[in-house]
Amino acid sequence: MKRPGEAAVAAGLIALAALAYAASFAAGGGVNAASTDSPMRLPRILLAIWGALGLVCLIRAVVVAAPAEDASFAPGRLLPFAGLVVLIVLAIPFLGYLVAAGVGVAGLLWILGERNPVRGGAAFLLLGPGLWFLFHHVLDLRLPVLLSGGMF
Amino acid sequence: MDALLAALLPILTFGTLAALVLGTGLGIVIGALPGLGSVVGLSICLPFTFGMGTVPALTLLLAVYCGSVFGGSISAILINSPGTPQAAATTLDGYPMAQRGEAGLALGYATVSSVIGGLISCAALIVAAPQLARFATRFGSVEIFALIVLALTCISAVSRGNMAKGLLMGVLGLFLALVGTDPVTGAARFTFGTQFLSGGFDLIAVVIGLFALSEAFFRVATGGARSAEVSGTRMRLPRWRDWKGRGGTLARSSVIGCLVGALPGTGAATASFISYAVAKQSSPRGDRFGTGEPDGIIAAESSNNAVTGSAMIPTLALGIPGDVVTAILLSALVVHGITPGVRLMSEHLDVVNAIFGVLILINLVMLALAFPLIRVFGKLLAIPQHLVTAGIVVFGLLGALTVRGNPLDAGVAVAFGLIGLVLRVTGFPLAPLVIGLVLGPQFEQNLRRGLLLNDGNFLAFFTDGPIAIILFACVGLAVLLPLLKPSGG
């Protein structure tokens, strides 16, 4: 296999198309007896094209040699960072934006290697509570809050 | 004169002018910092526009876009690292000039060329868009459907990677646009019984995820961009006599930029390299290209900035975005209650006129802001990159959260951020996916209406009329031409 990563993505996309195709029948919205028009007709056509193009990509990934890589990709560095971003997003509906993002920004800065207390503190205040205050109270773009109708 | 006044009056408010100056300055900074680029810049600024009026919001986004295209030239010339892909051709002669001690003059050539290219592009937009929009009123469902297919095919054909990948991403985008409630029958499609998916995927959350968050993830996974050091530089504008014999390159490259920019999927990077190659062939100083020849900078910079206005031609006249930037601008229009499409120019002429006026003013403001921002460029480069990465994540989450006020949109953005990371690492282009998502609803609506009008006979689309026949022939050419090229891997 010449490009294993690309082949895995292509295979994953084909599997996703197959699942969606099956789901289109399970939903029961496929037939409109009164008309040639039906809500699932176009999605199924697109899923068929998606599957065919995915197959072409898969074959290319298996047959054609990969170009030289120009960036070192290290998923090990990414995992804690992406994991914390996911945690922030999961916490926002329960804790509100200020608490979730406030704690989260401090964690993100730490994971990214910020150890200078002054610079790190300033960045935390600006990116965490600072931006929350700007959006929530100055621009009046309401963000999720910890308590309904509460300030935070 | 009346048209010019009509264009300028809605702009002359404090909010719009502030958005214009701040956006241009911010755009130049974002463009000058290597690795960020126009799309990430727009994604970061999107949440600020939700609380604004339509004209100030579009002004901010256009200013960031135009500013970032120009800003890329600053780092290209001073540190041999283009801030944006659009400025890659500028490094070829800009950096050698800087090495010779002529960095200030090189920046002067880049600035003046950018401004003139941008203004010529504005003129092209003002002249061409209304004509195209008038012509587009003849378009029916079949023609609009054919146009969308053509746009997607062109974008896929010129995307990074091979055409199959581009088309696959385009189809994926179209499919994602269909998730939610069917607009005709009200049936739920791929919602899996959830209330959240019944409204479909929010375009802005998807764009923020695919471009801003995936950029942050990419920076972390690859170690990120390294800060460079550069001493402060003063820009020096070229004198009249410095321009002797260079006007032809400037005019020709600006026209090339306008023409390339109006084609879907091409963009400023393509335009600048085409112009650079043409200038090298036609300039009497062509043999000096690559050694610090100002004609090389003029060609690259006038051309890439000439794209900014002309890229708006299909966007405003037809509602067809040519690239991700114009797709974001269209999504901003939707947020402000304006439906993009072939009727945009007739139904919202005030907004379109304001866009014309704003684009002219941005280029003039860019010239004024270039002087102070170039002087502080060294300090901008000193901003630690990990703080920029954290900032991208926070602004991305804020943008996704504020667009509909739904916390689940932030989850969509993060999910698409991770998907975007995987796709970009494996060479699948993201632009066709976004364009497909933007055009999906129009694609479906016009296809179904066309089928109803033709008694369900899809083959009748290909013989519906001369415009449809020409558009479908162009689709065929767009598919076949890349296949005829020798394979380069």
CB contact under 8 A, A36 and B428: no
> Which residue in the set B189, B417, B418 is minimally distant from A39, CB to CB?
B189
User: DSSP letter at B464?
Assistant: S
Higher pLDDT, B230 or B445: B445
Rounded-to-integer distance, Cα B180 and Cα B195, Å? 9
On chain A, the residues whose CB falls within 8 A of the CB of B451 are 36-37
Q: Tell me the per-residue pLDDT of B7-29, one tens digit each, with 9 for 90 and over.
A: 677 788 999 999 999 999 999 99
On chain A, the residues whose CB falls within 8 A of the CB of B426 are 3, 5-6, 8-9
On chain B, the residues whose CB falls within 8 A of the CB of A92 are 401, 407, 410
CB environment A72-86: b (16+ within 10 A), e (fewer): eeeeebbeebbebbe
Q: Tell me the per-residue pLDDT of B66-110, one tens digit each, with 9 for 90 and over.
A: 999 899 889 889 887 777 777 888 988 998 998 888 889 999 999
Contact of B181 with B472, CB cutoff 8 Å: no
Q: Find residue B181's DSSP bridge partners.
A: B188
Closest-CA residue of chain A to B456: A36
Nearest-Cα distance to chain A for B9, in Å, is: 25
| Strand segments (E) across B210-261 | none
Q: Say how many Å lie between the first and final Cα of chain B, rounded.
A: 53
Rounded-to-integer distance, Cα B231 and Cα B222, Å? 27
Nearest-Cα distance to chain A for B287, in Å, is: 30
- What is the percent of chain A where pLDDT is above 90? 58
- Is A145 at the interface with chain B, CB within 8 A? no
Q: Residue B245 has what pLDDT?
A: 86
CB contact under 8 A, A88 and B397: yes
Higher pLDDT, B120 or B224: B120
CB contact under 8 A, B185 and A141: no
CB contact under 8 A, A53 and B489: no
Q: Is B229 exposed, middle or buried (0-12, 13-18, 19+ CB in 10 A)?
A: exposed
Q: Find residue B189's DSSP bridge partners.
A: B180
Q: Tell me the per-residue pLDDT of A26-55, one tens digit each, with 9 for 90 and over.
A: 765 545 555 556 788 899 999 999 999 999
On chain A, the residues whose CB falls within 8 A of the CB of B389 are 112
Q: Residue B489 has what pLDDT?
A: 39
Q: Has residue B230 got a pLDDT over 70?
A: no
CB contact under 8 A, A5 and B423: no
Q: Residue B1 has what pLDDT?
A: 63
Amino acid at B144: I
